[in-house]
Amino acid sequence: MVSLVQTVPDNGLSIGPLKIRNRHEYEVLQRLRQEGFTPWSDSHPPRFVYNLAAHVFQGFLLEARSADGEIVGFLFSTPGFWSGDPNELQTYDYYMKSLNRRPLLKAATVLSTGPLRAFEPQVRRAHLQGSNCIVLLAMLVDPACRGRRIPARFIEHLKSVASTMGYGFILGPFRPSGYGKYKEQTRKPHSPDLFRDYCYATDTDGLPVDPWLRAVVQNGMKMLRPEPRSMQVTRGLQAFETFRKTFRPERWYQTSEHTWECGQAPTWYTDPFNETATSVEPNFWGMIPV
């Protein structure tokens, strides 16, 4: 069994199973998720649910801590299946819903106390049945800790977990971190073609111009294909009006009457008939061999 705690001697970081110890650490997770996904898509289960899921399904929910014990990063992943055909890959939402359809959180709660803990191995095996890879769903790192190679350390650890489980690769619907800024600077409306061209654009070294895609390529990621509608979140129009007033209010602009941008990866579309607004975020599928 792979060691679930690794100490990184060159920068004092430790990578191991997620365990949110107190309210402060839970608030750090909330802040990093809002910064990574925007508050529009913010949604958190209670702290104990994170901890129970990480305990029962070891290896898929990870944390990074500095030498002084401060939590500085989180990684969330799930077992999945991939045939090897890039066109068979689904969306971020698909794998999140697939995870939720399994009895993950319910089982974790039931197994948290008493003699039922003896059934943890059976539940873990049932959860992994039919899987052949790990799907990376989110990696959240404190911006103050950039430059400490935390993403690389997370990937290194996740590869060890995947190898121990007999998996050959890690998949990820990666969010190009500079796409929102690119749209904002060029004032070009989002489209599948624009997103594809941005993701495949390279610098003089042949690496992606996008900072996050470049980082994961340097960590062994093989680019597979863009997914133009990977993550979608729909809320009411009134919620959207409030959101525009409270989140980057000076950055919002329209590329058409019902299409909104604010320098982020998603694009927001309003629907007056249904009185809703939907954010649509594109991702880029990549594969990291183990």
Per-residue pLDDT of the chain (290 residues; tens, 9 = 90+): 444 445 444 568 899 999 999 999 999 999 999 888 999 987 778 888 788 778 777 889 999 999 999 999 999 999 999 999 999 999 999 998 766 555 555 555 555 555 556 666 777 777 788 999 999 999 999 999 988 899 999 999 999 999 999 999 999 999 999 999 999 999 999 999 999 999 999 999 999 999 999 999 999 999 999 999 999 999 999 999 999 999 999 999 999 999 999 999 999 999 999 999 999 999 999 999 99
Contact 105, 45 (CB under 8 A): yes
CATH number of 6-174: 3.40.630.30
- Give this prediction's pTM: 0.88
Domain assignments of the chain as residue spans, ordered by start = 6-174, 179-208+228-283
